[in-house]
Structure 1
Amino acid sequence: MNIGDRVRLLTGREEGIITRLLSDELVEVAIDNDFTIPVSRREIVIVAAEETKAFGKSAASVASEKKAAASGADIAAKAAKKAGIATDASGAKPAAKGESPAPLKADKAQAAPVQKGVYLALTHQSPELLALHLVNHTDRTVLFTLGEEKAGGQYRALKAGTLEAKSASEALGHWHLKDFDQWPALLVQLLPFQFNSPTAFELINKRQQFKAASFYTSRQPNVPVLQREAYLFQLDEKPAVPVALPAAETEQPTDAPAAAKPQAGNKPQGNDKQQLADKLKAQLTGNAPTKPAAVAPAPEPAKALVAPPHEVDLHLEALQPEGGTEGLSNSAILKLQLEAFEDTLSRALATNMHEIVYIHGSGNGTLRKELHKLLSRNRDIKFFEDSMKEKFGYGATLVRLK
């Protein structure tokens, strides 16, 4: 038994969702999304997926799902009222630091239609339990991998598979809202494909980190394909880039000299005439030496594009740890730092990173001003702000990428 499984009590007709594994013998079950109770594993049985396929969702199950979202909205409203949190123009109640976000009631009439794309969707299984899905709202098949970023920046692969056009994956994981501040960052890779298409596409990489403020506003009342309410995050915000295939080239053999063209006013004289006549005669009679076949040069291996680290230290000792920077002027040091900034920013955009942090230090503020000036002119930047003030003060800048 796993978190998110729908189960039925053996002692009655009640059904519920497993929300926690309390021990080897006990699990926590949300009954009809009204209350949770500890139940022995021996007293419940899993509702098989074949039952849903054969008979469809029962009215109780549909009502239970709707009740889950409504109950979650009530929880959010009560918590916000108790904490005295104000409501913004979008109807979302921002969460305080460390608080878990909860679903909010949205105005369905004002909800914008969901555009075509590939999305990460979180749906309510119970008021406190969310199921993770991938939704392919495009006309292409999409190959995907899903992993998470663990503590220390380590990667752990979780799932891989294929999403047909206009389809959604099964639940790829279950997360509890009480543990929102402990949710890992997700790393998703997408490769679009369409049969008989004349175009191949490059791999899309996306890092999705969940923040309380943006989690509120991502709620959609009726997500395409899933046809239910969900928290929606687009993974292919930038369109897939076509792969440029190398063009076929024909080379002339290097050891076969080209026939010299006589320039204007320079006519072949004496021996030159005889040599030219001999060459033409040999070619006409078939006695000319055979030309070696042209050999195409071996293609150079493609250089892999490496994403920069999430935190980039622009201090001189970090950029040049081996030393050799004695005697550099302030302008030379600034130029070195700006080159490192532009290189890591371009690689972050090319690999579809979600955000990146630049550690520039406080000092006299020259480097910080130059970075902010360049960032303000870049159209691929959503916004930037001072980051990790408790650690760096005003010595680091968080850059959110489109």
Structure 2
Amino acid sequence: MKFKLGDFVRFVEEKREGFITRIIDGQTIGVTGEDDFEIPVLASKVTSVHGREAAVAAAKEQEEIEEAANQEFISKGIYLAAVPEKQVTSVVQFYLINQTSYTLLASFTTEKSQEFKGEFAGILLPRTAVKVFSAGLPDISIWPKFIFQILYHSKQTVDFLDPLIYTERFKAKDFAGSKTAVHLLNQQGWQFQLDIGAVKVDAQKLKESFFKSPEEKKMVEKPAKEIDLHIEKLRDDYQFLNSNEILKTQLERFQKTLDGAIVHQLPSIVFIHGVGNGILRHEIHKVVSKHPQVKTFMDARKEKFGYGATEVVLK
């Protein structure tokens, strides 16, 4: 039989057309038209309508473009999500998630002992996800380095974005916190945002702070022992901020407070970041794990904060 499921066909002897929704036997097929009724018919009594698929695809693409034009354009929101396998929870499946309005051309490579292996390459449409890798959590110490290269594309008139390059070598502490909801997958897992820059530590500025005079140090506010980074504690107009502006505000307050704690030589400081989707916690941990003036960091008083706060011990 030359036909297959999904083909669009037209009846030879009557004015009717539709999609093939069932292969009944070697000579008979089921065709469903606009009335949603399936009609059994001999395959010899229908003919293919060529070009229909291309026309439907073009119309759908145009519809998606027009629909996107009427929605708020989202420029940030590329994530890597690690979701435990349902049957074997020690195995995690990694998904690349595109919550932006861009179409992404993505390449994912792993590197181990200077040997590179391409794991995934493809196009990721807006608000979609694709599985790119699998790994066992007990083997995290020997996981390869992850390398993502991403190009942005949109048929709308938007700002041009440079290609995104994201590299990460995961450690056990990256998975120490509670899992959060991965909405596009309707599952629980750990999420890491790829398209947000790490907070940069100005080494020269930090060095200069140690040699400030007492008068100059008074100009740097001495922070409290516990700093609440929930956005409603930082801005009165937080209802009008989008997720990127909220995160930027929280990270700026975190960085300013950490610098203040170092200048005033506090032994430690607690940052209350909440549980949420784990992005703020992850970004804070990325900074303090590489900071030259941080001795160590840990979850702060779980009986009080759960996994919603991090205590940073300073040198």
For the superposition of Structure 1 and Structure 2, which TM-score range results when normalised by the shorter chain? 0.3 to 0.5
Greater C-alpha radius of gyration: 1
Using the size of structure 2 for normalisation, the TM-score is 0.40
TM superposition score normalised by structure 1: 0.32
Q: Quick check: which one's strand share is greater?
A: 2
